[in-house]
């Protein structure tokens, strides 16, 4: 049966170690090959994606070239720029594959603004990692040189710059997105979590932040009344007691079970926790919805057999 599916792409679907445009386009071509399986299955597909590495790299480029005549762009504008570039690459990759497979469908990428609250406590406690990993020494030097810059250690992998990550409360272009999806257009939106904006004097104004793409994708799935929120990450399943002798793969999980695992501290705050929280927000109180966390390479198994970690409100 055809489903309305929102797919949230993780960073590994776009960028590996090579940050060049060509390498990212190659990664997105491989990603598009997997996403095509949803179209062949008859599903209505909406795609969102992260941009943490890309926006961080762009900020570094902006800062390196900053001058009076060529001032660096602010973070909200950099989010828009990466939303546009990644959307452009993914849109073209999808269109090429559709043509090769004789599928008559349109693809569009939208620069999307996502409303947040100016009072969100996240602005006082930056936590969202962006940009490349650096050593502890490099991080401390960067913070010493700029008091407004914050770096934190990221899950044992190194240090990364962190910025505010407020929760999304609305998506400005939700009606346009829903209209396109209902017309059968493959729609790429809320890239990088969307451009964070606050309402001020009846206008939307960009702010210095990066919205977590999983929460933005959940808000999108909620607003367009999707059947499934599919969050793609580096692993086929979520685990409890991860990397311990008694680690356990999670398959179908109830809201109550997932909430208990969160209370136990089973999921890392910088990686799996926001994915599980976004999944819970989407399905809680909606027995006709499901949220799935799995890997890009596991898509075929998910379509055929429902493989992955599936969270439902029983």
**Any idea which residues carry the catalytic annotation?**
11-12, 128, 213, 275
Q: State CA 172 to chain mean position distance.
A: 17
Q: Which residues pair with 214 in a beta bridge?
A: none
Q: How far apart are CA 307 and CA 239, in angstroms?
A: 14
Spatial contact of 89 and 58, defined as CB atoms under 8 Å apart: no
Q: Which residues pair with 108 in a beta bridge?
A: 187
Q: How many CB atoms are closer than 10 A to CB 268?
A: 13
Give CA separation, 232 vs 10, 63, 94, 116, 156, in Å: 6, 31, 17, 24, 21
Q: Which residues pair with 7 in a beta bridge?
A: 47, 230
Closest of 64, 59, 65 to residue 82, by C-alpha? 59
In this structure, what DSSP letter does residue 245 have?
T
List Cβ neighbours of 304 (8 Å cut-off, separation of 6 or more).
none
Half-sphere exposure of 178 (CA within 13 A, CB side): 13
Coil, helix or strand at residue 128: strand
């Amino acid at each position: 049966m055809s489903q309305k599916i929102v797919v949230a792409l993780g960073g590994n679907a776009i960028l590996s170690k090579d940050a060049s445009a060509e390498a990212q386009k190659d990664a997105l071509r491989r990603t598009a090959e997997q996403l095509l399986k949803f179209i062949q299955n008859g599903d209505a597909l909406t795609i969102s994606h992260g941009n943490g590495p890309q926006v961080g790299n762009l900020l570094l480029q902006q800062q390196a070239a900053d001058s009076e005549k060529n001032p660096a762009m602010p973070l909200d504008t950099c989010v828009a720029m990466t939303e546009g570039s990644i959307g452009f690459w993914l849109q073209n990759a999808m269109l090429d594959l559709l043509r090769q497979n004789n599928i008559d469908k349109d693809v569009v990428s939208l620069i999307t603004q996502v409303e947040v609250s100016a009072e969100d406590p996240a602005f006082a406690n930056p936590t969202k990692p962006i940009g490349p990993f650096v050593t502890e020494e490099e991080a401390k030097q960067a913070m010493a040189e700029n008091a407004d810059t914050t770096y934190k250690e990221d899950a044992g992998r190194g240090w990364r710059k962190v910025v505010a990550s407020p929760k999304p409360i609305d998506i400005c272009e939700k009606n346009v997105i829903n209209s396109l999806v209902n017309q059968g257009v493959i729609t790429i939106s809320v890239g990088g979590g969307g451009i964070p904006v606050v309402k001020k004097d009846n206008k939307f104004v960009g702010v210095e932040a990066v919205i977590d793409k999983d929460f933005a994708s959940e808000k999108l799935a909620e607003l367009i009344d999707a059947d499934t929120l599919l969050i793609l990450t580096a692993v086929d399943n979520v685990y409890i007691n991860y990397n311990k002798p008694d680690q356990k793969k999670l398959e179908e999980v109830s809201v109550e079970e997932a909430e208990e695992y969160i209370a136990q501290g089973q999921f890392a705050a910088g990686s799996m926790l926001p994915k599980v929280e976004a999944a819970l927000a989407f399905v809680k109180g909606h027995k006709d919805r499901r949220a799935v966390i799995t890997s890009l390479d596991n898509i075929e198994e998910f379509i055929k057999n429902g493989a992955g970690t599936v969270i439902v409100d029983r």
